[in-house]
Structure 1
Amino acid sequence: MAELILFNKPFQVLSQFTDESTTAGQAPRSTLAEWIPIPDAYPAGRLDYDSEGLLLLTSDGPLQHRIASPALKMAKTYWVQVEGDVSAGAIEALGAGVTLKDGRTRPAKVRRMKEPKLWPRVPAVRRRDTVPTSWIELTITEGRNRQVRRMTAAVGFPTLRLIRYRIGDWTLDGLEPGKYRKFVINLPKTTQPGKRPTRAQPAKAPRRTQGS
């Protein structure tokens, strides 16, 4: 058995417990330490600073590997607001796979969706009266750097807002931004409970402050 934490990461929060890239004179960025006061919990995968939504954390190494390993191809579903009235051709191209600088993406599941009922983003997404926006649901099984944003840009529809809704069987349902929920789950017999997870960069032990 292992403990799993589901966290709804707000916009402009790092998916790590320290911000050691801040240069002199810059204010430190918000980190997980401000939101999750649980010892020995580490992210299973990452979510960009300017993206929102589901982030999973655990203290169990095999479970972290099972979630984050690209080789295991755990599906991740994103709700994506794009600039423009997304075309059927763009949706077909995203589903078939698009060519990026680091190679062609795997086939994806993609559909146009109605605007979901979401919390307000602060700051709000910039809107232009003359340019419409639309929403798509995109499910991928790989995790390249800023992959979803690069995919939508490659088909001519830049991403304006990006929310990860699902990882595997876990979703954001009922989870407000900045809040977390804990589960205890049974692991397959092939895992080895007790192994510590690897830490996301930076490699130093995380500094923790009192969470909210």
Structure 2
Amino acid sequence: MLIALNKPYGVLCQFTDAGGRRTLAEFVRQKDVYAAGRLDQDSEGLLLLTDDGPLAHRLTDPRHKQAKTYLVQVDGAIDEAALQALRRGVSLNDGPTLPAEAVLAAEPDWLWPRDPPVRFRKAIPTSWLSLSLREGRNRQVRRMTAAVGFPTLRLIRVRVGEHALDGLAPGQIRVIAE
């Protein structure tokens, strides 16, 4: 079984939490599935869940080179030099990243409001970019954008390999394969 979930902001990528925080159990009723990959509590978007261990491995192991694409809202007006640095790969405290596909993007017209909203500062603009990675380090997108001088404000995963968010509302699931 393969399930796509649009994970809302503030939800943990696990089914239980002793601290009472929101978890996947609020949205996914199927038994014996688990997340193939993770999204941080403060990230949103496509999360794939499966009961098939080899499929989960193919989706998450960097050796299989499944691209993960994110829409990223950053603090400030991102420039071409920062985009080029992301495309070359940036140096992080755990080593250099692989090159990423990074392009300036418009704020999507299909985007849902976030609760709580992203902070608004009248004097400082924000930018959107599309960023595709073929590796998956902890908080990698956030660390990469910060490394080039543009901290991430909002992070939405829109694609994992051939699987896309494709109109799923936050909290909504789609069964891809039984």
Q: In the alignment, residue 27 of structure 2 is paired with which amino acid? A: W
Structure 1 Cα separation of the partners of residues 17 and 57 of structure 2: 23
Query: Helix, strand or coil: the match of 1:81?
Result: strand
Alignment of 1:134-173 (within 5 A): 134-173=127-166
- 1:83 aligned partner: 75
Cα distance in 1 between the residues matched to 2:176 and 2:27 = 17
AA paired with 1:112?
Answer: L
How many corresponding residue pairs?
A: 177
Could you tell me which runs of 5 or more consecutive residues in structure 2 were left unpaired when the two chains were aligned: none
**Which residue number corresponds to residue 11 of structure 2?**
13
Shift of 1:86: 0.2
Corresponding residue number in structure 1 for 2:90 = 98
Deviations 1:91-148 (A, max 9, x none): 0000100000000000110100111120000000001000000000000000000000
Larger radius of gyration: 1
C-alpha separation between the residues in 2 aligned to 1:111 and 1:43?
Answer: 28
Q: Which residue of 2 aligns with 1:53?
A: 45
Deviations 1:162-207 (A, max 9, x none): 000000011111211100000227xxxxxxxxxxxxxxxxxxxxxx
TM-score, scaled relative to structure 2:
0.97
2:59 to 67, 74, 92: 67
C-alpha separation between the residues in 2 aligned to 1:39 and 1:146?
A: 28
Query: Who is 2:172 aligned against?
Result: 179
Q: 1:70 offset after TM fit, Å?
A: 2.1
> What is the one-letter code of the residue matched to 2:98?
R
Q: TM-score, normalised by structure 1?
A: 0.82
Give the secondary structure class of the aligned counterpart of 1:79.
strand
Runs of at least 4 residues off by over 6 Å? none
Q: Output the amino acid matched with 1:11.
A: Y
In the other structure, the counterpart of 1:120 is 113
- Report the 3-state secondary structure (helix = DSSP H, G, I; strand = E; otherwise coil) of the residue aligned with 1:162: strand
Structure 1 runs not aligned, ≥5 long: 23-27, 186-212
* % same residue: 60
**Residues 1:130 and 2:123 aligned together:** yes
Report which stretch shifted further, 98-107 or 62-71: 62-71
